[in-house]
Amino acid sequence: MIEDYWTFIVIAVAGFLATDIWRWLGVVAGNRLNEESEALYWVRAVATALVMAVTAKLIVFPNGMLADTPLWLRLGAAGIGFAIFLVTGRKVAVGVAVPMGLLIAGLWWIGV
């Protein structure tokens, strides 16, 4: 019976070894970091820049069903969603739900 699941076991162990050990080492090392250090400001800035780059790529060069939407709809949903995110006190759930709702409404309105 275990022979049937051997592939999944190898994938799970390899995935654990490749990622989770480094995460735990990061947690251990992170407890000793000063949150106000210049290095941590730099790490936050790089992480934010990477997230924004991926978001911009998804908006400007989408794939899948999003590629069938007009650019003005994607830009409008992102812009309005970001504005509402800021107005509501930077609530992430609102910042995700509003652009999704606008995209869905826009797709329904243009008939895609």
The answer to whether residue 109 scores a pLDDT higher than 90 is: yes
- Apex 54 CA angle, 97 and 28, nearest 5: 90
Beta-carbon contacts of residue 10 (< 8 Å; ≥ 6 apart): none
What would the DSSP string read from start to end of 63-109? -GGGGGS-HHHHHHHHHHHHHHHHHTTS-HHHHHHHHHHHHHHHHHH
What are φ and ψ of residue 89, in 5° steps?
Answer: 85, 30
> Which of these, 84, 71, 64, 56, lies nearest to 110 by C-alpha position?
71
What pTM does this model have?
A: 0.67
pLDDT tens digits, one per residue of 1-33: 677 788 888 888 888 888 888 888 888 887 888
